[in-house]
Amino acid sequence: MAILSKGTTYADGTQVTATNLNALVDSATFASGAVDDSTTQLSSGAIIVKDLGIATGKIAASAVTTAKIADSNVTKAKIENVANLKVLGNVSGSAAAPAEVAILDEDNMASNSATSLATQQSIKAYADSKVDGTGAGSFTTLAASGDVTFDTTTLKVDSSNNRVGILNASPTVPLDVNGNARVVGTFFVGTDDTDPNGLVDVYGGGTGQDEGGEIKLRTAADFDSTYNHYFIDAHQDDFRIGREGNTDIVLSSAGNVGIGTASPSYLLDINDDAATGAGLRVTGGGGGGPLAQFVRDVSSSGNITINIAAGDPQFQLTSAGSDVMTIGLDDSANTFQVCAGSAVGSNEVLVVGTNGKVGIGETVPSAPLTVTSTTGGVLLPRMTTTQMNAISSPANGEIIYNTTASKFYGYAGGAWVALH
């Protein structure tokens, strides 16, 4: 079988020159006998390898090296028409021979294969099914079995005990927060957000510490010093309410309530040390009942005590208009006074001294009853003779004006006697 086809035929005796011989070689081509037509073939006089012509058995494993096949020699154009191209690979760490790797396009990742590859589209579809799919990244579903931990202690979900810990890797209650928390909106405690009936426990320091739990109420932005901040807390055995830095109201362990004092000694103990303080004010409505009542057990006596360190203890009575009357003690005069004005010590209407002497219009009474006036006199009781005689057990020295007789009468020696 001819391997080459010559370009020129020479007869016997023909002189062959170098030129003729060169032309003969240059024009020679491979004949069909030079290829087996299964692994090789002719192409424009050249021998080439047919597609799929080189089988694994004809190339030793060590025969194909990087040096023999440069990266630039393997191009897309040379392999793009190879049908049924397979991916070979193996799981990392496996001693088995490389095997064909399947490429799966499953949006739900149902196969759960340990050796197959997923397409980019199926990975995206599966990830989108676990988030909102818009790129915002907010979770709609997070399926997990067992406990879930984010960043060690940032968030811990204890599935076996149905507990969640924030900054707490070992939650002991359904929601266990180790640190500060903020709620913007309404915080409900109980089984019904329209009628909460749960319990809030606020713990303070550890065993042996004075401070208990504390709740702070802020009236403006956090840490804004423009407005007062208020607190409710437990201190030792007392319950306290106040402004930041001040204890305004205290309920002691003895049941005493203090306003302006941290140590109330009475059931209601009010202390106002401020120079401009308003003290205690009771404002009633228009129901007609008493504005305030001080009632003690009927079987016991009681009193109301007003005691001040210096000055004049007094009550001031003010009408809806401008009328003011003051009742109190004039400390310098050592007298009880009723005064037409806003303070004792001036405009005295009635004065009672500690010696038992009473003055009307007189600041220093010299007799048991001293009446001083430049505009009027003393008006004694006026009655008829019948009314005079009807007085039960009159006392000797008793004086009235009898309108029937138009005379003053005095009682002496067991009878009424005209005095003029």
Model confidence over 230-256: pLDDT tens digits? 888 888 888 888 887 788 899 999 999
Residue 365 has pLDDT above 60, yes or no: yes
Do 388 and 335 fall into the same domain? no
Asked if 337 contacts 330 with a C-beta cutoff of 8 angstroms, the reply is yes
Per-residue DSSP letter, 98: P
Domain-embedded: residue 391: yes
When pLDDT is averaged across residues 313-325 and rounded to a whole number, the result is 83
Other CB atoms within 10 Å distance of the CB of residue 234: 16
Residue with tokens 């008793």: 398
- 176 to each of 154, 169, 171, 204, how far by Cα in Å? 12, 9, 5, 16
**pTM score above 0.85:** no
Asked if 358 contacts 352 with a C-beta cutoff of 8 angstroms, the reply is yes
232 vs 76, residue with greater confidence: 232
Q: Which domain holds residue 260?
A: 211-270
Domain-embedded: residue 301: no
User: What is the C-alpha to C-alpha distance for residues 46 and 34, in angstroms, rounded to an integer?
Assistant: 10
User: What is the C-alpha to C-alpha distance for residues 243 and 249, in angstroms, rounded to an integer?
Assistant: 10
**How much of the chain is in helix, strand and coil states, percent to nearest 5?**
10, 25, 65
Domain-embedded: residue 185: no
Do 13 and 72 fall into the same domain? yes
Q: Are strands 348-353 and 335-339 parallel, antiparallel or unpaired?
A: antiparallel
Do 370 and 393 fall into the same domain? no
Residue 305 has pLDDT above 80, yes or no: no
Which candidate, 420, 374, 373, places its Cα nearest to that of 401?
420
Query: What are the CB-based long-range contacts (under 8 Å, 24+) for 217-221?
Result: none
Structure tokens at 281: 């004010």
Residue 349: Cβ-neighbour burial (10 angstroms; 0-12, 13-18, 19+): middle
Domain count, the chain: 6
- 346 to each of 10, 308, 358, 364, 381, how far by Cα in Å? 164, 20, 16, 13, 30
Do 316 and 373 fall into the same domain? yes
Q: What is the DSSP string of 183-194?
A: -SS----SS-TT
**Per-residue pLDDT reduced to its tens digit, 193-202:** 666 667 777 7
